[in-house]
Structure 1
Amino acid sequence: MTIAAPTADFLVLPPRPDSTADLLAASARQRGMAVELLSGPVLPDRLRHATGAHLRGGPVFAGAVAEDLDLVLLEPDDDWLTRLPYEYTHRDITLTTLGEARWSRTPMFVKPPRDKSLTACVYADGSRLPGDADHPADTPVLVSEIVTFLVEYRLFVLDGTVHAASRYATHGRLDPAPLDACPHRAAVLDFAAGLLDTCGDSLPSAVVVDVGLASDADRGTEHWAVVEANMAWFSTSYAADPDRVLDVVLRAAGPRDRLAVRDRAFVRPHAAVG
């Protein structure tokens, strides 16, 4: 039996969806959207000419199906963190390559700009960084001073405002909670408002920004700072309202013919996704 292609907006999920994908699928169905759980990275023929596709999944999966679905994936620039005013980072951050970072002989925090191709953590020096075939020397990485975050929050941003949010870590340990239930709610939203008002044009219209309360042990002070920015179509929702998270995901990975002019600079090339 041939199954007809969707005739309205639909959400495509990878073969092994995570808990966030399950929550978004439930929200999508409540809106009347079809949810397509693929059995592999090859798109079924019935979906190749369908319109209205959206996606939630990892970079490899997205790279396999995005072009055939004619959808675009929005993401922040690799060097976005490095271009922020110091008042929003409170640390020196450099975009470099894994090969260059391997020359460092001082402790540092290293992470990929967006993809999770490398474990983001503190490395005692560059010799501890991986050097195998899966981590070539030209792999881009962000290298920063080591910062201790007391508590961290995930913000799903839509059109320059916080659309959904959740605490996700306390003292470096997973600790999800809705933002509205957190004592730092007002401080988080105030910091985010200043950041987005000043730097919102340097981000896609749908994106995830993580922020946190950092401790400066030397000075005995605390301050709010940006942790990182990520693509919304592959970010864990934690305790954020899944229906509002879905709003952001649908914009972040949606039909090419709906792409806003201001987002053209943030479209990820399909060739680089996989």
Structure 2
Amino acid sequence: MRAYVQKHHGEFTNINTLTAFLGFRDKGYEVRFFEFHEIDLLELSADTPVAGGIPVVVAALARLGIAVPELSSIPSVLESFAGRKVWASTMQQARNLVAEGASIFVKPVPADRKLFAGAVFREFRDTIATAHVPPEYPVVCSDVVEFVSEYRAFVLDGEILDLKHYKGDFRVFPDVRVVDNAVSAYRAAPAAYGIDFGVTTDGRTLLVETNEAYSLGCYGLTPIFYSTLIERRWHELNGTI
């Protein structure tokens, strides 16, 4: 078995690729490292999972003729768990709403998560960090909700492997019954994915978003679990499970 793990100037790109390496190594894989510019030189197949940033994994899958399906940040079947209005928009429409006095949360579409950091826009100065984003660029908007803590559930074949804190007060834990119900309701889910929940100032546990497993923040998940998620989703996208 062989797996590829991205590096940058000879170093792990972040804790995620380090964790993936440790997991694949412990699972018995021959791990080969590569730099982004070497993606076209890799000996890829359906059985060679790739761990790296989203553009890297998408490029690797494209080499195998696979177009990655877009995973909705909040699938329609889970809208009731969000506890707020969520809608597709454009950057210009979001800017216009702010100019009219609205406060909204804006983030990139899932395919371009790194374009800018999701943020609350309450006034013009809040939009300055997105000045490089074209007006017609698609974004996801939602009503503003104040979360005091946020956790990620890592899901494999419909079962939650673990919950990891990644933002806010770690002492404020989500209602696991809500998390379980959301995972159970998401019957059309990928074989492996992440799903984030936040606890609001008034104590509600709400869905933040879902995330693809092929390139996912590990937030302290054990290497074996983390590499298994990447492996499982890679095989699913390649049609080998």
Give me the identity figure in percent: 21
Q: Distance in 2 between matches of 1:31 and 1:203?
A: 25
Task: Provide the aligned length of Structure 1 versus Structure 2.
Answer: 232
In structure 2, the partner of 1:107 is 103
Q: 1:118 to 1:81 in 2, by over 3 A?
A: farther
In structure 2, the partner of 1:154 is 152
Deviation of residue 128 (structure 1)?
Answer: 4.0
Q: 1:195 to 1:256 in 2, by over 3 A?
A: closer
In structure 1, the partner of 2:223 is 242
Does 2:178 correspond to 1:191?
A: yes
Q: Find 1:59's aligned residue among 41, 54, 67.
A: 54
Does 2:29 correspond to 1:43?
A: no
Q: Distance in 1 between matches of 2:165 and 2:227?
A: 18
Q: Secondary structure at the match of 1:103?
A: helix
In structure 2, the partner of 1:76 is 71
Could you state the TM-score of these two structures normalised by the residue count of structure 1? 0.74
Is 2:19–2:226's contact at 8 Å kept on the other side of the alignment? no
Alignment of 1:244-259 (within 5 A): 244-254=225-235, 257-259=238-240
Is 2:46–2:240's contact at 8 Å kept on the other side of the alignment? no
Could you state the TM-score of these two structures normalised by the residue count of structure 2? 0.82
In structure 2, the partner of 1:168 is 166
Q: 1:251 to 1:204 in 2, by over 3 A?
A: same
In structure 2, the partner of 1:32 is 28
Alignment of 1:125-144 (within 5 A): 125=123, 128-130=126-128, 132=131, 134-144=132-142
Is 1:95–1:140's contact at 8 Å kept on the other side of the alignment? yes
Q: 1:44 to 1:81 in 2, by over 3 A?
A: closer
Q: Distance in 2 between matches of 1:12 and 1:74?
A: 22
**Cα deviation code 1:35-84 (max 9, x no counterpart):** 22112333364x33655121222222223332225667565225x35653
Deviation of residue 126 (structure 1)?
Answer: 6.1
**Cα deviation code 1:94-142 (max 9, x no counterpart):** 111112111103111111232121221111146743564x412232212
> Which ranges of structure 1 fall in alignment gaps of 5 or more residues?
1-7, 176-181, 216-220, 261-274
Is 2:6–2:35's contact at 8 Å kept on the other side of the alignment? no
> Which ranges of structure 2 fall in alignment gaps of 5 or more residues?
none
Q: Distance in 2 between matches of 1:170 and 1:128?
A: 21
Deviation of residue 155 (structure 1)?
Answer: 1.0
Q: What is the aligned-residue RMSD (CA, Å)? A: 2.7
Does 2:198 correspond to 1:212?
A: yes
Q: 1:35 to 1:126 in 2, by over 3 A?
A: farther
In structure 2, the partner of 1:233 is 214
